[in-house]
Amino acid sequence: MPAGKLHVKKGDQVFILSGKDKGKKGKVLSALPNEKKVTVEGINIIKRHARPTQKVPQGGIREMEAPIYADKVMVVCPSCQKQTKTFDVKLSSGKKIRSCKKCGEYIDK
């Protein structure tokens, strides 16, 4: 695997293996390969104070997802709905796509 590449990418459904959100599932919002982290929808929510704006002059608290380490998540297979390890399959076109180790279906479209 080339440096800076993660086993998950934006749009994947993932299962959280550890931490306060252990056992939950969510969609990868962004992948940060250089930090080996991902942000996952609804996972590791932190509260940030928002600056007052014209619309919300008193400011407020904004909730947002903080990145978590990519090795704490596993891909959820869109075919069998299980968290799984993946392996690369090389297509005749030369393109590599990920497949589910449990059911063998392609994960990438």
Residue-by-residue DSSP string for 4-72: T--S--TT-EEEE-SSTTTT-EEEEEEEEGGGTEEEETTSSEEEEEEPP-SSSTT-EEEEEEPPEEGGG
Q: Which stretch binds Zn ion (CB under 5 A): 20-28, 36-44, 61-69, 77-85?
A: 77-85
Q: Does 103 bind Zn ion (CB under 5 A)?
A: yes
How near is the Cβ of 92 to Zn ion at its closest, in Å? 22
- Residue 32 binding Zn ion, by CB under 5 A: no
Interface residues toward Zn ion, by CB under 5 A: 77, 79-80, 100, 102-103
